C-alpha cells in the first residue's frame, strides 16, 4: 500500500480541529416544527371540543355517538354497542397510519376518522348484532374520555422522556467532545485483489448489457422496501466513480464508458415510475416528472451520482441539455441534464417552508436532504457555481433547529405538514449522528467531525478490540452470522462484514479495514458472475461493499470536495477495453505508469495494444512485466503505441528510458 | 389517367353501392309494409331488423340461438370475411319467423324491434370497448405480457400465420436493403403446412373454395410473403389491378393496412403499378384525427376504425420508405413511439411500434426520439425484429428506393429527389 499525497483535506482537518460542542439548552422543537405541531394540536383540540360539546350538550343518541367518534376514532361505535366496528376502526386507523407514511396518503387518517363519525351516527338507533335494537352503552363515554387522555398522555410522555434523557447526556457528551481525539483516516491506496477483479468484471458486465437491461439488480416494490432499483444504481455508480478516481485515473476508457451506461440507466422508466403514484396520492398531482417537485430521494441522489461521475472522469456528457431525458409511458418527455437537475433541487429547497423538502410527498428525510446538499456542493465544485452557498444558512438552521436532538443525533424524518417525527424503523431508533454518503464531510465539516466523534464513542473501543484479532496472515478469524437484508427478502453473510469494514474505516484502523475486506472476500465469495453476484449479498449492499472497498484514498466526500483533477504522468488513451480488465492504472510520482491488468476471460493470453498519451515528446519508453519488455518511442505530441501480451493478472510498469 | 382495370373496378364499386342503397331502402319499405299489414308482419319485421328477435315471444330458445349464431357469424365475418354467413343466418331467421310467428295479438313490436337493433349495435360497441379497455388495464396487460414473456423464454410462444407472413415480407424488404436476416428461418416458416391450411380454411368458410389453390385469391399477407421470397406471384398483380384498393384483400372482403402496404411494396419491387394503392392512401386511408383507418371493406368500399398505433406506424413506415406519403404521420406517431420505448413490459405491440419508429427515424430528423429508441434492446417479436433489421439496413445502406422519386404525394408534400440530401 502506498500513502496517497492527494488525501482529501477534510481528512487532514479531522485530527487538528476540535469537534463542535452540543448546545447546552436545546429546544424541544424548532420554530417551524413547533408552529406546525401547534397547528396540529389546535386542530385536534377543536375536534375534541366539538366532540365533547356533542356528547355533553346535544340531545340524541346519534349526536352523542358522533361526538364520541370525533373524540376518539370509532369511539361512537363503542357507545352504539358495536365493539367489532370499534376494533375495526382502530385497525383501519393503523392501516391509515402506515399508508400515511408509506404512500403519503395524507387523507387516510381523516377519512377513517370521518367514517367512524358518520357510521356511529347512522348506527345510533339501528340494529345490533348481539344486543337489542338501539342499545347504547353509556359506560363507553368515560372509557372514550380515558382513551383520549391516555393517548395524549402517552404521546407527550414519550416525547418528553426521550428529550429529557438526551438532554441529560449533554454535559457528558460535551466533556467527551472537548477531549476526543479523532483518528487519522485510512488514506492509503489499496492494491486491487482477485475479488476486486471479480467485482469490476461484474460492474462492467452489468453496465455493458443492453441499455434497457437491468439484470443483476434486486427487484421488488419501489417505495420503501429496500429493493428500490434507484438506490442500487446509485451505489453502483458511486462505487465505480471511486474505482475510476482511485484505481484507474490514468486509464479511464473502460470504466468511464461503463459509468456512463450506469448513469443512463437512471432514466429507465422502471427506475422512477413509482413517483407518479406518490405524486398523485400525496400531492394530488398527476405529473409524472420525477425531478421537478419533491422526490429528493431521486433528484438529489442522481445529481450526486453526476457529481461523482464528473469528478472521477472529467466527462461533461451529462451537462448537455436533454442528456438525461425521462420518458413517461404515454410518451411525454422530461428533458434534464446535470445543471437543470441541480437547479430543481435548489428550487425545491428554497420553496420549502420547513427548509428540507420531501422525498415522498409530505415527508422530509434528513438523509435525502443531506444528499441534496451534497448535490449542490458537488455541482459548485465542478462548475464554479454557488448553489450550496445560496441555501446553506437556511439548510443548516433547519438541520440544527428542526431535526437535531439534544444528544447530537438527527431525526430521520419529519412531516412537512404537521411537524411530527417518529421512528420509521428504517434506522435504529429513528435517529443518527450523520448520514448521506458523505456524512456531512463536504457540506458541514464541523458537523461531520462532531458526528464522527460521537459515532466513535461507541464504535471506537469495539474496533480497537477487533483490531487485536487480526492474525499473521492479515485475516480476521471471525465467523459472523448472516443478517437479513433491508428488504427482508433474504439474508446475506456479507452484511455484518460491511459493518466491520465501515466501522474500522471510521475508527482509522487501517490493518483491521484491510483484514476485514480480505476476510469477507474469503467467507462470502460465491464464485458466481453476472448476473449472479460474486459475493453473498443483495443488490443494494453489494454497492455499499464496493463503496467501502474502493474508498481509498479518496472517499465520496473527498471526491466531491476535490472535483476532477487531470491525472499526472502517462495515460492510456486507448486499449482493448473489452478484452482486458484494467484493475489499476496510476502514476504516483508523475513519471512511471503502473498498471495491473488481466484478461477478461479466464486463462486467456491476449495481446495488449496500448495507446499512450501525456508522454515526454520524443522520449523512449519501456513497458516491463514479469514476462518481458516492450519499447515505445513518443512522437512530437507525446503519444505512442506499445504492444504487449497479457496472461492472467499482470503488473506492468511504463517508464522512460534515460540515456 | 387511371388504368382501365382500376376504372372498371371503381365502376363496379359504384354499382355495388347503389345496389346496397336500393336494397336498404327496399328493406325499410318492406318492414313498414309488414308492420302495417299484420301482426305476423310485425314479428317478421323484428327478425329483419335483427335475426331471431321476432321469435322471442313464442320461441325464446330459438331466438337466443339465432342471436348467438348472428354474433358468431359477425366474429367470423370480421376475422375471416365470411360475409355470406351473416346473410344466411339473416335469411334463415326470416324464414323461421315467417313460419313460426303467431298470427295475432297486440302491435308495436316493430317499433320495439327498431329500437332493439340500435341497442344491439350499441351493446356490441360497448362490449368491444370494454374488451379493449380491459386489455389496457395494468393488471390485465401485465398478465398478458408476462404470459408472453414466459412463453418466449420457454420457446413455446406461437406466432400466428398472418404475423409470420408479415414478418417474412418485412424481412424481404430488409434483405433488399442489404440487411442480414435469418433467411432459412423465414423460408422454413413460410413452408409450414399451417400457412396454406389457414388459407384453405378461410377460403372454404368465407368463399366456399373447397378445392384448388387456396391462395388463388385474397390472402394478401401470405401471398406477399411468398412472392417476396421468390415464389411466383400467382396472379396477384392481375387480381390487384381489378381491385379499387390496388392490392389483394387480406381476407375475403377485408383489406388491412399493413398487409396492403406490404403487398404494394412487394408489387413495386416487382415493377407492378401501385397507383391505385397510392390513390387509396390519399382518398380513403388519409390521416384523420391522428389516425389512419383500421380497415377497408372492399365490397362496399369504405374505410373505418382507427389502426392500432403499431400498425399505423408500421404501415406508414412502409409507405414512407416507398415515398407514397410524406412525414405528416410522424408528429402523430412520435409520442406513441416514445411511450412504447419507455415501457418495458414485453408487449409485442410495443416492440413493433418501437421498431416501426426506427424505420421512420430513417426518414425524419428527430434526435430526441432517436436517442430514446436507441436504448431499447433487440425485440423478440418477429415483426418487430424484421422491422428493426430493415431500419438498421436503411441506416447503414443507401437511401430507400422511395426517396428517389419526386412527386406530390398524399398531402401534396414533396419528398426529396435523388439529388437531394436525405433528411437522415
pLDDT of residue A128: 82
Residues of chain B contacting A322 with CB distance shorter than 8 Å: 368, 371
**More reliable by pLDDT, B45 or B278:** B278
Q: Select the residue of A325, A329, A332 nearest B343 (Cβ to Cβ).
A: A329
Going by C-alpha positions, the residue among B66, B88, B87, B85 that lies closest to residue B75 is: B85
Q: Which pLDDT band, with edges at 50, 70 and 90, does B313 fall under?
A: very high
Count of positions (residues) in chain A = 659
Residues of chain A contacting B378 with CB distance shorter than 8 Å: 210
Helices (H) and strands (E) in chain B, counts: 18, 5
Distance from CA of A332 to the nearest CA of B (A): 7
State the alpha helices, DSSP H only, in A58-107.
61-71, 75-79, 83-103
pLDDT of residue B84: 86
The residue among B360, B375, B378, B384 with the most chain A CBs within 10 A of its CB, best to mutate, is B375
Is the Cβ–Cβ distance between A190 and A514 less than 8 Å?
yes
Q: Select the residue of A269, A322, A332 nearest B344 (Cβ to Cβ).
A: A269
Q: Select the residue of A211, A264, A325 nearest B368 (Cβ to Cβ).
A: A325
Residue B76, number of CB atoms within 10 A of its CB: 17
Mark yes or no for CB contact A212/B377 under 8 Å.
yes
Distance from CA of A342 to the nearest CA of B (A): 22
**More reliable by pLDDT, B155 or A178:** A178
A–B CB contacts, 8 A cutoff, strictly below: 50
The secondary structure of residue B40, as a DSSP letter, is H
State the alpha helices, DSSP H only, in B309-421.
309-321, 330-342, 348-360, 367-374, 382-396
The pLDDT tens digits of the residues spanning A236-274 come to 999 999 999 999 999 999 999 999 999 999 999 999 999
Whether pLDDT at B397 is above 50: no
Count of positions (residues) in chain B = 424
The pLDDT tens digits of the residues spanning B17-68 come to 888 888 888 877 777 777 777 777 778 777 777 788 888 877 888 888 888 8
Per-residue pLDDT, averaged over B283-303, amounts to 89
d(CA A402, CA A395): 10
The pLDDT tens digits of the residues spanning B134-145 come to 766 667 777 777
Pairing of strands B408-409, B413-414: antiparallel
Q: Select the residue of B338, B340, B343 nearest A333 (Cβ to Cβ).
A: B338
Mark yes or no for CB contact A327/B338 under 8 Å.
yes
The pLDDT tens digits of the residues spanning A573-610 come to 999 999 999 999 999 999 999 999 999 988 788 999 99
* Average pLDDT score over chain B: 82
Q: Which pLDDT band, with edges at 50, 70 and 90, does B113 fall under?
A: very low
Dihedral sign for Cα A397, A398, A402, A406, please.
negative
Is the Cβ–Cβ distance between A597 and A610 less than 8 Å?
no
**More reliable by pLDDT, A5 or B216:** B216
CA distances for B297 relative to A167, B12, B27, B166, angstroms: 84, 14, 22, 20
Region of A444 (left: φ > 0; alpha: ψ -120 to 50; beta: rest) is beta
Q: Select the residue of A264, A322, A329 nearest B342 (Cβ to Cβ).
A: A329
Residues of chain A under the 70 pLDDT cut: 1-17, 659
Mark yes or no for CB contact B337/A212 under 8 Å.
no
Residues of chain B contacting A269 with CB distance shorter than 8 Å: 342-344
pLDDT of residue A226: 80
For chain A, helix, strand, coil in percent to 5 are: 50, 15, 35
Whether pLDDT at B119 is above 60: no
- Which value, in Å, is the radius of gyration of the alpha carbons in chain B? 24
Residues of chain A contacting B377 with CB distance shorter than 8 Å: 210-213
Partner A contacted by B378 (CB < 8 A)? yes
Per-residue cell: A35: 408552529
**More reliable by pLDDT, B91 or A406:** A406
Q: Which pLDDT band, with edges at 50, 70 and 90, does B406 fall under?
A: very low
Residues of chain B contacting A213 with CB distance shorter than 8 Å: 377
Query: Which ipTM value was assigned to this complex?
Result: 0.86
Amino acid at each position: 500500500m502506498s500513502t496517497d499525497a492527494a488525501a482529501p483535506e477534510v481528512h487532514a482537518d479531522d485530527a487538528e480541529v476540535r469537534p463542535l460542542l452540543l448546545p447546552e439548552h436545546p429546544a424541544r422543537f424548532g420554530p417551524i416544527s413547533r408552529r406546525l405541531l401547534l397547528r396540529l394540536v389546535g386542530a385536534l383540540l377543536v375536534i375534541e371540543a366539538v366532540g365533547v360539546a356533542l356528547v355533553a350538550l346535544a340531545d340524541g343518541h346519534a349526536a352523542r355517538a358522533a361526538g364520541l367518534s370525533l373524540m376518539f376514532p370509532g369511539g361512537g361505535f363503542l357507545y352504539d354497542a358495536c365493539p367489532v366496528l370499534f376494533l375495526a376502526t382502530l385497525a383501519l386507523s393503523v392501516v391509515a397510519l402506515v399508508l400515511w407514511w408509506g404512500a403519503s396518503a395524507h387523507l387516510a387518517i381523516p377519512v377513517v376518522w370521518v367514517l367512524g363519525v358518520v357510521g356511529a351516527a347512522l348506527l345510533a338507533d339501528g340494529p345490533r348484532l348481539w344486543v337489542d335494537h338501539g342499545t347504547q352503552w353509556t359506560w363507553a363515554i368515560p372509557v372514550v374520555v380515558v382513551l383520549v387522555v391516555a393517548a395524549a398522555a402517552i404521546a407527550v410522555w414519550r416525547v418528553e422522556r426521550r428529550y429529557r434523557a438526551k438532554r441529560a447526556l449533554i454535559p457528558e457528551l460535551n466533556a467527551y467532545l472537548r477531549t476526543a481525539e479523532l483518528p487519522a483516516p485510512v488514506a492509503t491506496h489499496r492494491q486491487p485483489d482477485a475479488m476486486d477483479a471479480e467485482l469490476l468484471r461484474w460492474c462492467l458486465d452489468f453496465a455493458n448489457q443492453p441499455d434497457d437491461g437491468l439484470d443483476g439488480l434486486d427487484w421488488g416494490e419501489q417505495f420503501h422496501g429496500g429493493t428500490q432499483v434507484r438506490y442500487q444504481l446509485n451505489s453502483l455508480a458511486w462505487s465505480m466513480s471511486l474505482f475510476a478516481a482511485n484505481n484507474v485515473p490514468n486509464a479511464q476508457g473502460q470504466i468511464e464508458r461503463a459509468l456512463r451506461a450506469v448513469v443512463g440507466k437512471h432514466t429507465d422508466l422502471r427506475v422512477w415510475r413509482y413517483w407518479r403514484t406518490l405524486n398523485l396520492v400525496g400531492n394530488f398531482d398527476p405529473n409524472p416528472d420525477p425531478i421537478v417537485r419533491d422526490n429528493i430521494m431521486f433528484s438529489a441522489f442522481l445529481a450526486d451520482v453526476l457529481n461523482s461521475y464528473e469528478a472521477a472522469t472529467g466527462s461533461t456528457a451529462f451537462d448537455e441539455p436533454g442528456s438525461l431525458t425521462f420518458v413517461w409511458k404515454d410518451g411525454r418527455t422530461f428533458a434534464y441534464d446535470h445543471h437543470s437537475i441541480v437547479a430543481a433541487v435548489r428550487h425545491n429547497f428554497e420553496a420549502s417552508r420547513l427548509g428540507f423538502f420531501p422525498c415522498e410527498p409530505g415527508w422530509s428525510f434528513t438523509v435525502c436532504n443531506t444528499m441534496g446538499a451534497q448535490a449542490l456542493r458537488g455541482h459548485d465544485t465542478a462548475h464554479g457555481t454557488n448553489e450550496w452557498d445560496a441555501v446553506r444558512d437556511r439548510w443548516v438552521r433547519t438541520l440544527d433547529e428542526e431535526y437535531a436532538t439534544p444528544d447530537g443525533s438527527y431525526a430521520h424524518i419529519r412531516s412537512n405538514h404537521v411537524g411530527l417525527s417518529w421512528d420509521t424503523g428504517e434506522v435504529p431508533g429513528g435517529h443518527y449522528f450523520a448520514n448521506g454518503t458523505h456524512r456531512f464531510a463536504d457540506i458541514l465539516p464541523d458537523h461531520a467531525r462532531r458526528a464522527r466523534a460521537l459515532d466513535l464513542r461507541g464504535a471506537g473501543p469495539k474496533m480497537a478490540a477487533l483490531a487485536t484479532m487480526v492474525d499473521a496472515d492479515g485475516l480476521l478469524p471471525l465467523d459472523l452470522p448472516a443478517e437479513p437484508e433491508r428488504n427482508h427478502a433474504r439474508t446475506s453473510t456479507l452484511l455484518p462484514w460491511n459493518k466491520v469494514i465501515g466501522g474500522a474505516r471510521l475508527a482509522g484502523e487501517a490493518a483491521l479495514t484491510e483484514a476485514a475486506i480480505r476476510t469477507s472476500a474469503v467467507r462470502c465469495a460465491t464464485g458466481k458472475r453476472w448476473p449472479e453476484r460474486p459475493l453473498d449479498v443483495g443488490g443494494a449492499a453489494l454497492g455499499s461493499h464496493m463503496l467501502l472497498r474502493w474508498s481509498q484514498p479518496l472517499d465520496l466526500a473527498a471526491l466531491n470536495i476535490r472535483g476532477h483533477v487531470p491525472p499526472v504522468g502517462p495515460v492510456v488513451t486507448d486499449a482493448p477495453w473489452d478484452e482486458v480488465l484494467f484493475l489499476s492504472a496510476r502514476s504516483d510520482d508523475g513519471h512511471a505508469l503502473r498498471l495491473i491488468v488481466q484478461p477478461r476471460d479466464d486463462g486467456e493470453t491476449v495481446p495488449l495494444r496500448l495507446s499512450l498519451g501525456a508522454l515526454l515528446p520524443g522520449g523512449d519508453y519501456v513497458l516491463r512485466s514479469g514476462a518481458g519488455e516492450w519499447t515505445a518511442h513518443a512522437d512530437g505530441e507525446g503519444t505512442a503505441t506499445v504492444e504487449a501480451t497479457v496472461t492472467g493478472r499482470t503488473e506492468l510498469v511504463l517508464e522512460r528510458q534515460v540515456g | 389517367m387511371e388504368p382501365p382495370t382500376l376504372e372498371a373496378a371503381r365502376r363496379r364499386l359504384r354499382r355495388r353501392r347503389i345496389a346496397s342503397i336500393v336494397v336498404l331502402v327496399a328493406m325499410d319499405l318492406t318492414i313498414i309494409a309488414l308492420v302495417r299489414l299484420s301482426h305476423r308482419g310485425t314479428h317478421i319485421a323484428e327478425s329483419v331488423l335483427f335475426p331471431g328477435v321476432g321469435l322471442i315471444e313464442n320461441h325464446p330458445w330459438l331466438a337466443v340461438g339465432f342471436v348467438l349464431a348472428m354474433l358468431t357469424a359477425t366474429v367470423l365475418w370480421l376475422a375471416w370475411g365470411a360475409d355470406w354467413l351473416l346473410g344466411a343466418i339473416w335469411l334463415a331467421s326470416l324464414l323461421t319467423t315467417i313460419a313460426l310467428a303467431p298470427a295475432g295479438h297486440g302491435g308495436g313490436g316493430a317499433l320495439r324491434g327498431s329500437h332493439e337493433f340500435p341497442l344491439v349495435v350499441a351493446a356490441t360497441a360497448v362490449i368491444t370497448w370494454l374488451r379493449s379497455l380491459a386489455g389496457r388495464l395494468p393488471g390485465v396487460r401485465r398478465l398478458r405480457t408476462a404470459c408472453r414473456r414466459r412463453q418466449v423464454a420457454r420457446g413455446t410462444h406461437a406466432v400466428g400465420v398472418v404475423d409470420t407472413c408479415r414478418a417474412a415480407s418485412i424481412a424481404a424488404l430488409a434483405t433488399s436493403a442489404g440487411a442480414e436476416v435469418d433467411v432459412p428461418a423465414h423460408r422454413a416458416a413460410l413452408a409450414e403446412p399451417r400457412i396454406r391450411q389457414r388459407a384453405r380454411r378461410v377460403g372454404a368458410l368465407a368463399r366456399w373454395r373447397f378445392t384448388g389453390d387456396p391462395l388463388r385469391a385474397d390472402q394478401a399477407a401470405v401471398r406477399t410473403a411468398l412472392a417476396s421470397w421468390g415464389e411466383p406471384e400467382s396472379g396477384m398483380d392481375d387480381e390487384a389491378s381489378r381491385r379499387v384498393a390496388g392490392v389483394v384483400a387480406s381476407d375475403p372482403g377485408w383489406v388491412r393496412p399493413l398487409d396492403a402496404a406490404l403487398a404494394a411494396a412487394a408489387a413495386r419491387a416487382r415493377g407492378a403499378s401501385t397507383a391505385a394503392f397510392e390513390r387509396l392512401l390519399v382518398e380513403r386511408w388519409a390521416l384523420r384525427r391522428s389516425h389512419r383507418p383500421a380497415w377497408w371493406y372492399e365490397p362496399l368500399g369504405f374505410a373505418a376504425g382507427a389502426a392500432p398505433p403499431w400498425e399505423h406506424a408500421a404501415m406508414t413506415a412502409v409507405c414512407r420508405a416507398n415515398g407514397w406519403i410524406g412525414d405528416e404521420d410522424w408528429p402523430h406517431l412520435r409520442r406513441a413511439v416514445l411511450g412504447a420505448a419507455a415501457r418495458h413490459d414485453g408487449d409485442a405491440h410495443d416492440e413493433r411500434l418501437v421498431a416501426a419508429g426506427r424505420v421512420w427515424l430513417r426518414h425524419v430528423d428527430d434526435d430526441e426520439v432517436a436517442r430514446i429508441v436507441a436504448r431499447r434492446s433487440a425485440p423478440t417479436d418477429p415483426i418487430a425484429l424484421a422491422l428493426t433489421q430493415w431500419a438498421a439496413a436503411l441506416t447503414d445502406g443507401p437511401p430507400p428506393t422511395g426517396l428517389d422519386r419526386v412527386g406530390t404525394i398524399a398531402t401534396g408534400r414533396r419528398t426529396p429527389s435523388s439529388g437531394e440530401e436525405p433528411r437522415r
